[in-house]
């Protein structure tokens, strides 16, 4: 009986950890993609308009933040 209770408790903990990990992955996926896009644009000097509200919650370096603020002040020129 004790073994059955132990197995049930362990399975419950495993299920809860999988649910938590999945939730964290889904909630941070967009932020990671946005941060990677910002870093790519910085390396290739590609100007783009980004809402400052969109950047809340990202862990950006001061250099990245300064770059994004300077982008907000520039006109965007799209090349075809």
Average pLDDT taken over every residue of the chain: 75
Total tally of structural domains belonging to the chain: 1
Q: Is 65 a member of any domain?
A: yes
In this prediction the pTM is 0.41
pLDDT exceeds cutoff 90 at 69: no
Q: Is 78 a member of any domain?
A: no
Q: What pLDDT is recorded for position 64?
A: 72
pLDDT exceeds cutoff 60 at 76: no
Q: What pLDDT is recorded for position 80?
A: 45
Q: Is 43 a member of any domain?
A: yes
Tell me the longest C-alpha to C-alpha distance in the chain. Answer: 71
Domain range for residue 45?
Answer: 2-72
Q: What pLDDT is recorded for position 36?
A: 73
Q: What is the mean pLDDT of residues 8-32?
A: 85
């Amino acid at each position: 009986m004790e073994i059955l209770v132990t197995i049930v408790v362990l399975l419950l903990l495993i299920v809860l950890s999988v649910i938590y990990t999945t939730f964290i992955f889904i909630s941070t996926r967009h932020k990671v993609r946005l941060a990677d896009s910002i870093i790519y644009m910085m390396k290739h000097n590609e100007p783009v308009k980004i809402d400052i509200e969109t950047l809340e919650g990202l862990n950006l370096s001061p250099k990245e933040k300064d770059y994004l603020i300077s982008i907000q002040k520039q006109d965007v020129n799209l090349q075809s």
